[in-house]
Chains A and B, each alone.
Chain A
Amino acid sequence: MLEALLVMALGSVILGGALGFAAVKFRVEGDPLVEKIDAILPQTQCGQCGFPGCKPYAEAIAKGEADINCCPPGGEDGIRKLADLLGREFKPLSGEHGIEKPKSTAVIDENICIGCTLCIQACPVDAIVGAAKQMHTVVASLCTGCELCLEPCPVDCIDMKPIPENVESWKWKFPVFAIQSRKAA
């Protein structure tokens, strides 16, 4: 009886020691969580989540201070990825932060623009070029569609235009034959 106990005790000590050693020795230095979360966020820096940018939101999620469903530009897809990463339950996008919209870019109506530079100051990614009293324009390829330039514009000359699908960006759809055949039968 005593022998058995001793053997078991010894075994557990040895195994525990080995596991502890392995944990220290083979520790995987992973990306800090904030970086991983930030990598999933769409980087529009729009602030719709209530934080001043994607990184602060990522930090808040990592600390458990914010929910994962506050990012409208990331959409359901983004929430799903966050849920996967953090092992949390998927939730639909919370309505108070906005709704998921098709990807758009800002377009300045050049006839109305008065060259006030307010939008240039508001743009988080410096995608608007121009100078005081000169007409401004949006560099479409850099625009993240955050809409932060809309509000400061005193003459309402900025519009959000959805990015049209073209031959290059067109995507093959998920094959649907399986569903059709099921209906047919």
Chain B
Amino acid sequence: MLRQLFSFNGGVKPAYNKEQSNQMPIAVAPVPAELVIPLHQSVGGTPRPLVQAGEHVKKGQLIGDPDGFVSSSVHASTSGLVKAVEPRLMPHTSGLSALCVVIEPDGKDEWGEISPMPWRDMEPDDVRDVLRDSGVVGLGGAVFPSYLKVNPGKQGHLDTLVINGAECEPFITCDDMQMRERGETIVRGAAILRDLTKATRVLIGIEDNKPEAITAMKAAVTTTGESRIEIVPVPTRYPAGGAKQLIRVLTGIEVPHGKRSTDYGVQCFNTGTAYAIYEALELGRPLISRIVTVAGNVETARNYEVRIGTPMREVVALSKAKPDTDRIVMGGPMMGFAMPADTVPVVKATNCILVGSPTLFPPPPPEMPCIRCGECARACPTDLQPFEMYWFSRAKIFGKAQEYNLFDCIECGCCAFVCPSRIPLVDYYRFAKSEIWAREKEKESADVARKRYEYRIDREEREKQEKAAKLAAKAAETKAKLAAAGAADENKALIAAAVARAQEQKDRG
């Protein structure tokens, strides 16, 4: 069966380097001596810690409670003793710390109470609560809480549910290997998502440079006997695995920036997320581990199933980093982030630990001026004009940068990849975006302060008036009391006058 595919503009073809790490099966990484589980692992609010130092936790026990509507739970990934709840270095370029639950494993790896969820008989809202409490987030790297996405949209059903197995970033093979080895679970997870979102069809998009995964997934669809699920090989071109790009390729629909894809009858989940959703609902297991690719400057690149909270150093040690290693990158070479140290923990967003060296990732050559050649614009998968955004970001004219749709930029790195002037374009966009966000935040809080100040002035004014009115009322009251005595005489005089007038008229008549 041939399906009509669409294409997106731009994109690049970097060296994929996937065969390094997809030769060996997924291995389970051992439990480390210490697990550091950051509370903030998904988009949205930071979960509140539920445990204290000295407490014993079971594997899968809730240790972080979602805070706010957009937030997701965090669980202990093995059983053991909570050593501390304290700020630790985060797997984030900033090198800043945030609150983490530090667990000393007891070696028993005992599950707490877990039980399958009768999700078919549950209300959709309750199923979503289960997913939130299971801590399932998008495992493609965006870590958006999945329960918010399991949603049939305004029409009450989806036309297409896209399962993203494209995995377009070089070096990364975690989805590839998971599809090869655990295809059936992924397909079952996709089927659950299909039923929850009432999707007419499910398209699992896989880049055609992963023929084994495509075969395995096709076989899995047959074995599971699930209907309305189709495996679609898509042409290999970075960033075909971007959610919007894959939706475009598979359905022809372009979801504009800031719009919900469900408004167009589409939703997109990563294959790993589908797997995690199956585990959460059918087995009752929260998300406590994920598949992580270790590749780059190592002896044996491979995929590992790693407990969340395992220090990256211990995972890298399994693959043996070569001596000239100069950095650890979380993610791939196009969009990954350099880590401040190799002690940072593996989190839900860690799809790959890329080990770098000066030879593998040479330092950027000196930046030349932009010659407006337009290569970046031709490479941009969102049809932006990167050099214009660069120009205005560099000059700190942020309003203009936004006019050139800075916030449509997905930071895929295609522009910087092709730039003959070797300008770190994405760095300029990140800089401009975070400046704009900070300014907006500042402006918001200034607006709140202004409103509260004006309200306070009003209130003070009102209180003053009320006080004055009260005083005036009191004064009037006293006056009235004083006057009351004399009032009786006055009335008599009036009556007398009236009587006199009447008398007068009578006399005339």
A residues sitting closer than 8 Å to B (CB atoms) are 38, 41-45, 53-54, 124-127, 141-142, 144, 165-167, 169-175, 177-178, 180-181, 184-185
Residue of B364, B441, B450, B456 contacting most chain A CB atoms (<10 Å): B450
Partner of B456, one of A44, A125, A174, A181: A125
| Chain B nearest CB, measured from A57 CB (Å) | 13
Q: Are B449 and A167 in contact, with the CB atoms below 8 A? A: no
In the complex, what residue of chain A is closest to B447 when comparing beta carbons? A43
Q: Are A124 and B453 in contact, with the CB atoms below 8 A? A: yes
| Chain B nearest CB, measured from A80 CB (Å) | 10
Contacts of B367 in A (CB 8 A): 177-178, 181
B430 at the interface (CB under 8 A from A): yes
Listed A/B pairs (30) with beta-carbon separation below 8 Å: A38-B450, A41-B446, A42-B442, A42-B446, A43-B446, A43-B453, A45-B449, A45-B453, A54-B453, A124-B453, A124-B456, A125-B449, A125-B456, A126-B455, A126-B456, A141-B445, A142-B449, A165-B94, A167-B90, A167-B96, A167-B98, A169-B441, A172-B427, A172-B430, A172-B431, A175-B424, A175-B431, A177-B367, A180-B366, A185-B366
Dominant secondary structure of chain B at its interface with chain A: helix
Contacts of B445 in A (CB 8 A): 141, 144
Q: How far is the CA of A53 from the CA of B92 in the complex (A)?
A: 40
Q: How far is the CA of A185 from the CA of B368 in the complex (A)?
A: 12
Q: How far is the CA of A47 from the CA of B121 in the complex (A)?
A: 62
Q: How far is the CA of A38 from the CA of B442 in the complex (A)?
A: 14
Q: Are B427 and A142 in contact, with the CB atoms below 8 A? A: no
Q: How far is the CA of A138 from the CA of B96 in the complex (A)?
A: 26
B5 at the interface (CB under 8 A from A): no
Contacts of A177 in B (CB 8 A): 364, 366-367, 424
Partner of A169, one of B40, B430, B438: B438
Q: A54-B450, A166-B96 are in contact. List 12 more A-B contacts (CB 8 A).
A: A43-B450, A125-B456, A142-B449, A144-B449, A165-B96, A169-B438, A170-B96, A170-B434, A172-B430, A172-B433, A177-B367, A184-B366
Q: Are B427 and A166 in contact, with the CB atoms below 8 A? A: no
Contacts of B497 in A (CB 8 A): none
Q: Given A172-B431, A177-B367, A177-B424 in contact, is the A167-B453 Cβ separation under 8 Å?
A: no
> What 0/1 readout, one digit per residue, does chain B (440-466) give for beta carbons within 8 Å of chain A?
011001111110110110000000000
Q: Are B452 and A166 in contact, with the CB atoms below 8 A? A: no
In the complex, what residue of chain A is closest to B40 when comparing beta carbons? A167
| Chain A nearest CB, measured from B24 CB (Å) | 34
Q: How far is the CA of A43 from the CA of B450 in the complex (A)?
A: 6
B428 at the interface (CB under 8 A from A): yes
Contacts of B435 in A (CB 8 A): 171
Contacts of B449 in A (CB 8 A): 42-45, 125, 142, 144
Contacts of A144 in B (CB 8 A): 445, 449
Q: How far is the CA of A38 from the CA of B453 in the complex (A)?
A: 13
Q: Are B90 and A171 in contact, with the CB atoms below 8 A? A: no
Partner of B438, one of A171, A178, A185: A171
* 8 Å CB interface, B75-109 against A: 90, 92, 94, 96, 98
Q: How far is the CA of A166 from the CA of B45 in the complex (A)?
A: 13
Q: How far is the CA of A117 from the CA of B364 in the complex (A)?
A: 59
Q: How far is the CA of A141 from the CA of B452 in the complex (A)?
A: 13
| Chain A nearest CB, measured from B179 CB (Å) | 32
In the complex, what residue of chain A is closest to B369 when comparing beta carbons? A178
Q: Given A167-B40, A178-B367 in contact, is the A173-B431 Cβ separation under 8 Å?
A: yes
* Shortest 6 CB-CB contacts between residues of A and residues of B: A181-B366, A43-B449, A172-B430, A170-B94, A175-B427, A43-B446
Q: How far is the CA of A124 from the CA of B450 in the complex (A)?
A: 9
Contacts of A38 in B (CB 8 A): 450
Q: Given A125-B452, A181-B366 in contact, is the A167-B446 Cβ separation under 8 Å?
A: no
Contacts of B434 in A (CB 8 A): 170-172
Contacts of A142 in B (CB 8 A): 448-449, 452
Q: How far is the CA of A165 from the CA of B442 in the complex (A)?
A: 14
Contacts of A178 in B (CB 8 A): 367
* 8 Å CB interface, B19-42 against A: 40
Q: Are A53 and B453 in contact, with the CB atoms below 8 A? A: yes
Q: How far is the CA of A53 from the CA of B452 in the complex (A)?
A: 12
| Chain B nearest CB, measured from A46 CB (Å) | 10
Q: How far is the CA of A124 from the CA of B448 in the complex (A)?
A: 12
Q: How far is the CA of A159 from the CA of B342 in the complex (A)?
A: 37
Q: How far is the CA of A127 from the CA of B455 in the complex (A)?
A: 12
Contacts of B450 in A (CB 8 A): 38, 43, 54
Contacts of A172 in B (CB 8 A): 427, 430-431, 433-434
Contacts of A165 in B (CB 8 A): 94, 96
Contacts of A45 in B (CB 8 A): 449, 453
| Chain A nearest CB, measured from B221 CB (Å) | 40
